Amino acid sequence: MDDLLTDAIISPTQEQLMTRRTRRNHSLAFKSKVALAAIKGKHTLAELAKRFDVHSNQIATWKEQLLAGAATVFGQDKAAEPAVDLKALHAKIGELTLENDFLEGALTKAGLLSEKR
């Protein structure tokens, strides 16, 4: 019976292995520091993972995000903004003006709109 009790007791080292690590939120400064270290290439991802206590896949993801967003550091290109089609806008203004004039005339004839406006 004592053997069953001792087998059921979990040693502290086994208990520590079984507990899940809580989710950590890393600061932007930490993420950029780790990603820059990965970009430099002086150390492998495994070495960086051990050094910063972060999974190597997470470091690779941060590195990709940094490289993808590097172009926005110096601002967006002005050409990236969509061009405004002035002809279409002027046509829409003309169409709306025509509708307003038509409706104003129809309402005035019906006596629903005063002519003092």
DSSP 21-71: PPP----HHHHHHHHHHHHHTSS-HHHHHHHHT--HHHHHHHHHHHHHHGG
pLDDT at 10: 57
Domain membership of residue 24 (yes or no) is no
- Same domain? For 67 and 88 the reply is no
Please indicate, yes or no, whether the overall pTM of this predicted structure exceeds 0.85.
no
For residue 11, tell me if it sits in a domain: no
Q: Are 45 and 56 in contact (CB under 8 A)?
A: yes
Q: Give the range of the structural domain holding residue 107, as residue numbers without chain letter.
A: 84-117
Helix, strand, coil share of the chain (percent; to 5): 70, 0, 30
Q: What is residue 64's predicted lDDT score, i.e. its pLDDT?
A: 92
Considering the domain boundaries, does residue 41 fall inside one?
Answer: yes
pLDDT tens digit at each of 117 positions of the chain: 555 555 555 555 666 566 777 888 999 999 999 999 999 999 999 999 999 999 999 999 999 999 988 878 777 666 666 778 899 999 999 999 999 999 999 998 888 877 665
Q: How many domains in the chain?
A: 2
The pLDDT, as a whole number, for residue 111 is: 85
Per the domain annotation, does 116 fall within a domain? yes
Tell me whether residue 6 is in a domain. no
